[in-house]
């Protein structure tokens, strides 16, 4: 499980777009084998940090991956901008990444069996014959997770996987991820808005508001003070009443980066 060895080190990572600082000198460490969750208000740069990690946006500073750029990464986006009427089955969706033979010559038995095995792992074997465009938000998420697992990832990157999924669906998805992480021993980094989920499933939290406001274990970081700094007064009031998620006074705050309180 989680070790002290870092899987990812963000070293003074900054992203500027049209003169606006989206990320400003982000310093953070993601422990190997952890479930690290990025939290922060809208526009805090959470998705941008993931995209920088994937090499999709230009950044200054350094992102060090243990295992280098050859590290096997699985990526699950928030949603897929897909033509919903396109004839494209879940079996084909999973076979396109592994099958050498073009899909217009059909799906090989090996690719179909592998697709089914992956779907079984995400409890979605019944979806194999469905069209990708007809899947619900929660079903699509499982299929996208299966596609990411096909990479045998050492690092699994998820952008708000519980967006557009009901509460129960989100909880089951997180439990599934916990199980998979234990058996497959990958490092998981994800963005989430659901603080209840973060408190329950995260092993490490990075609070982001263009800069890192705080980072560490959830019980150390999810304090009223940090959440107020992160989300403003409104959130502070809620957290002051909810002591299960807010345990004041124990946060390890990054010096000099706590300027929004």
Partner 1 sequence: MPDLSWLFSLASHFPLDGMDMRFMQQALVALVLLAPMTAALGVQVVHYRMAFFSDAVGHSAFAGVAIGLVLGVDPHLSMPLFGLAVGLLIMFMQRFSALPSDTVIGVVFSAVVAGGLAVVSRNNTIARDLQQFLYGDILTMTETDIVWLCGLFLLFVLFEFLAFNRLLYAGTSGIIARAHRVPVAFFEYLFSALLALVVMFSVWGVGVLLVTAMLTVPAASARNFARTAGGMFWWAIVVGTSSAVAGLALSVQPWMGTATGATIILVSCFWFLMSVVAASVRNERQF
Interface ranges with partner 1 (CB under 8 A): 51, 54-56, 72-75, 77, 80-83, 85-89, 92-93, 95-97, 99-100, 102-107, 131, 144, 147-148, 150-151, 157
**Rounded least distance, CB 69 to partner 1, Å:** 10
**Rounded least distance, CB 183 to partner 1, Å:** 21
Of 89 and 253, the one with the shorter C-beta distance to partner 1 is 89
Of 53 and 205, the one with the shorter C-beta distance to partner 1 is 53
The two three-digit tokens of residue 96, written as one number: 């396109």
**Rounded least distance, CB 91 to partner 1, Å:** 8
Nearest to 115 by CA among 90, 86, 140, 79: 90
Of 184 and 200, the one with the shorter C-beta distance to partner 1 is 184
**Rounded least distance, CB 254 to partner 1, Å:** 28
Question: Which residue in this structure is represented by tokens 């500073």?
Answer: 61
Identify the H or E element spanning 238: helix 233-241
**Rounded least distance, CB 224 to partner 1, Å:** 36
Of 100 and 109, the one with the shorter C-beta distance to partner 1 is 100
CA dist 143 → 37, 60, 87, 174, 197 (Å): 21, 34, 16, 15, 21
**Rounded least distance, CB 143 to partner 1, Å:** 11
Of 93 and 173, the one with the shorter C-beta distance to partner 1 is 93
CA dist 125 → 78, 99, 115, 118, 191 (Å): 22, 19, 9, 8, 26
Longest dimension (CA), the chain: 62
Question: Which residue in this structure is represented by tokens 């989206």?
Answer: 22
Q: Please report which residue ranges of 54-166 form alpha helices under DSSP H.
A: 90-95, 109-121, 137-149
Of 73 and 165, the one with the shorter C-beta distance to partner 1 is 73
**Rounded least distance, CB 95 to partner 1, Å:** 8
Of 164 and 248, the one with the shorter C-beta distance to partner 1 is 164
Question: What residues are paired with 38 via a beta bridge?
Answer: 191, 206
**How many other C-beta atoms can be found within 10 angstroms of the C-beta atom of residue 126?**
11
The answer to whether the beta carbons of residues 23 and 80 sit under 8 Å apart is no
């Amino acid at each position: 499980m989680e070790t002290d060895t870092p899987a990812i080190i963000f070293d003074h990572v900054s992203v500027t777009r049209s003169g606006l600082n989206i990320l400003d000198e982000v310093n953070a460490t993601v422990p190997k084998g952890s479930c690290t969750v990025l939290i922060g208000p809208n526009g805090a740069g959470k998705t941008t940090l993931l995209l920088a990690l994937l090499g999709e946006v230009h950044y200054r500073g350094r992102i060090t991956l243990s295992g280098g750029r050859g590290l096997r990464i699985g990526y699950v986006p928030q949603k897929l901008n897909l033509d919903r009427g396109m004839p494209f089955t879940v079996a084909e969706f999973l076979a396109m990444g592994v099958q050498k033979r073009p899909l217009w010559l059909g799906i090989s038995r090996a690719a179909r069996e592998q697709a089914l095995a992956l779907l079984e792992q995400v409890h979605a074997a019944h979806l194999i014959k469905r069209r990708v465009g007809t899947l619900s938000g929660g079903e699509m998420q499982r299929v996208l997770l299966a596609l990411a697992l096909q990479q045998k990832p050492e690092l699994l990157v998820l952008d708000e996987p519980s967006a557009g999924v009901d509460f129960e669906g989100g909880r089951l998805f997180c439990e599934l991820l916990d199980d998979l992480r234990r058996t497959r021993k990958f490092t998981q980094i994800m963005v989430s808005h659901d603080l209840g989920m973060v408190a329950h499933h995260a092993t490490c939290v990075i609070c982001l508001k263009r800069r890192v406001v705080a980072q560490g274990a959830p019980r150390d970081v999810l304090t009223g003070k940090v959440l107020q700094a992160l989300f403003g007064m409104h959130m502070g009031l809620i957290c002051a009443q909810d002591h299960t998620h807010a345990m004041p006074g124990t946060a390890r705050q990054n010096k000099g980066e706590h300027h929004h309180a």
